[in-house]
Structure 1
Amino acid sequence: MSAINEVVKEHRKVVSSWHPQTSVWALAHGATMSALCVAGSSYMVLIRMRQFFNLYSQQYLLGTLLPVVALPSVGYIILQDVFVDRKLISGFSLPETRKSLCSTCLEIRGSFIQMVAGVVAPVLFSVSSCASASISYRTFPVPELTKYRKVFGLVCKACGSFSSTLILLTLANAVVGGFITEKMVEQHALVSATRETINPLK
């Protein structure tokens, strides 16, 4: 674990000092850009869910905003770092591991992580937080948690109220996640090839 941490640290130093930065934009800022997309997607889900539960104006806004927008964004950054970024860095660190690196698999993984963080997690968090708020403010009839079928029906009804938006958000997150991961793979290859040319013995 310490070895990979050293490799990651060294790689990030190289990326931060790379010129021009535009040639490594995905490595330097890709995760942040995707996290902002996740936050925007989560916010859209929250707004539509608040409308469904009749939570207008500022009713419990902060209480729903923090879990629905902040948690998926932070979760995305962690998952992206563990399952994509570190895999790329370790995969490109040695020529033998580079040959076995599946870029398509990583792109699919990047898309999946982005979809889960940008749509699935916000839907689950927003249903629970908005339902809790609607009970406090008496804005929407929420069934008891022990009535599983009614709870499941409520979730389906809530998601169905803006299904077109959810489909578009899912597709958008999949495209963004796959595109940025693809660019990360290309730029990792560029950085590795350039470093090997400059330092052939390393």
Structure 2
Amino acid sequence: MIKDPLKKLIKPPGFKENSDEIETRRWGIIHLFKPASDVFVLKYGASILSSLVAISGMSFHIHYRKFLKLGRIGFISGALPSILLPSAMTGLMQYHFVLTPLVTIQSAMCPTCFEIRSACIQVVGGVLAPILTTSSVALFTATIGRSTAMPRWQDFSYWLKFYKDLNKGIPRKAAYFSVMHMAASLVFVSFAVKSLAKVWDYEHGSRKLLQKKYRVEAPNEEQKPLYPLLSQTQEPVSGQNRF
């Protein structure tokens, strides 16, 4: 299932390694695992989840810009903190807080704990962060560009009405995207655990083969002397006494 050069990644029984070495070795196995479809979620799952965050962020971005009548004013500058930044941060957090512990920690693994962790990261990065950043950036752009009439800071009641109209339809979108992100996280973790089970089965099988190989070949190895210098016999030089 794995190319022959990657047999070096399988360590013999009793080999001690730290967490960084385990992570590097297992990611090396995952990236060259055959068939590649068995580890597709491990390779590209975090990228897919970050793409979903970008989709939800784009929806919120369009909503606020449409309400404030911004048009093309600050579209790219508003997309950076409201779409690209939450998407990139969510992908990195899914990789470091979900995938890396799954790959490194083999024993005492709780899939439900990782599902909850992944869902929380996805909802925060795909719903809460885009709403806060997009609304703030859109209001700031509308204030500078003067695309719509903004209430005065002293008129608190008008600000409440304006904020209510600004966020009209947002709770429904937030609920929809929250369900979508949580479902995607559950599917992602469940398939990741199944893929890791195949990787671990291969690793355990290879370790057993190595252990069996060592047990068979060990008695056939030549027994080296404990003190090689003392075991060598030297011919006495002519004219010299042996004693």
TM-score over 0.5 (shorter chain)? yes
Structure 1 position 105, deviation (Å): 1.0
Distance 1:175 1:155, change over 3 A: farther
Using structure 2 for the length normalisation, give the TM-score.
0.72
**1:195 is the counterpart of 2:194:** no
Structure 1 position 3, deviation (Å): 3.4
Task: Kindly indicate whether the alpha-carbon contact (under 8 Å) linking 1:42 and 1:69 is maintained by their aligned counterparts in 2.
Answer: yes
Which of 43, 65, 68 aligns to 2:82? It is 68
Report what 1:36 is aligned to: 51
Structure 1 position 107, deviation (Å): 0.8
How far, CA to CA, are the matches of 1:182 and 1:150 in structure 2?
48
Report what 1:168 is aligned to: 176
Q: Percent identity?
A: 22
Which of 96, 108, 112 aligns to 2:120? It is 112
Structure 1 position 55, deviation (Å): 1.5
The structure whose residues are more often helix, as a share, is 1
Q: Unaligned regions of 5+ residues in structure 2, if any?
A: 1-16, 212-243
Using structure 1 for the length normalisation, give the TM-score.
0.85
User: How big is the alpha-carbon RMSD for the aligned residues of Structure 1 and Structure 2?
Assistant: 2.5
Amino acid in the other structure paired with 1:108: I
Report what 1:11 is aligned to: 26
Larger RCO of the pair (alpha carbons < 8 Å, separation 6+):
1
Task: Kindly indicate whether the alpha-carbon contact (under 8 Å) linking 1:52 and 1:161 is maintained by their aligned counterparts in 2.
Answer: no
* Count, aligned residues: 193
**1:1-202 correspondence to structure 2 within 5 Å:** 3-56=18-71, 58-92=72-106, 98=107, 100-140=108-148, 141=150, 144=153, 157-200=165-208
Q: Unaligned regions of 5+ residues in structure 1, if any?
A: 93-97
Distance 1:148 1:23, change over 3 A: farther
Report what 1:95 is aligned to: none
